[in-house]
Amino acid sequence: MREVERASRERGLRLTPLRHQVLDLIARARKPVKAYDLLDSLRDTHAGAAPPTVYRALDFLLEHGFIHKLESINAFVFCEHPGEAHQVPFLICDKCEGATELCDDGAVAGLIEKRAGSLGFRAKAQTLEVHGVCRDCRSG
């Protein structure tokens, strides 16, 4: 959270109390969080919270790279490196719904970008999500 706060100050961004609370809920979650689960949690402290409230906060956090959206399960996770723009693959466990950000040297994203370029394709964004079963679920 300190890195997000620092990045916000350096970039001149307003990390409002609501945005901070949404980010905190995502950061504390042990697995990806869906927008309506965030809304339910927010209603404990913001009785008038509505879906647009949550989606505006999520849009801000996504736009500035503080969280990632897992498209295949329509859920959000805290970014392991919120101070830097990057594309990362995720491993998503279909049993426990955990998600692991593969923090590599950009090799996977670079390979996709290079191959796309060789086909004359200019990529705007990458989403690579690999589904399977994690070690804990396999051995449990």
**What are the residues whose beta carbons fall under 8 Å from the beta carbon of 116, sequence distance 6 or more?**
122, 123
Cα separation, 101 vs 80, in Å, equals: 7
* Burial letters 99-126, b for 16+ CB under 10 A, else e: bebeeeeeeebeeebeeeeeeeeeeeee
* The last residue of a domain, from among 27, 59, 78: 78
Distances (CA, A) of 22 to 12, 14, 115: 19, 14, 36
Q: How many CA atoms lie within 13 A of 95 on its CB side?
A: 9
Backbone angles phi, psi at 91, to 5 degrees: -100, 125
Q: What total of structural domains would you count in the chain?
A: 2
Q: What is the pLDDT of residues 63-72, one digit of tens each?
A: 998 999 999 9
Q: What is the pLDDT of residues 79-114, one digit of tens each?
A: 887 766 677 889 999 999 999 988 766 788 888 889
What CATH number did the domain enclosing 119 receive?
A: 3.30.1490.190
Whether residues 74 and 106 fall in one domain:
no
Q: Determine, yes or no, domain membership for 100.
A: yes
Q: Determine, yes or no, domain membership for 33.
A: yes
Q: What is the pLDDT of residues 6-61, one digit of tens each?
A: 888 999 999 999 999 999 999 999 899 999 999 999 988 888 889 999 999 999 99
Residue 73: give the domain boundaries.
2-78
Supply the pTM of this predicted model: 0.86
Token readout for 87 is 């594309």
Q: Determine, yes or no, domain membership for 83.
A: no
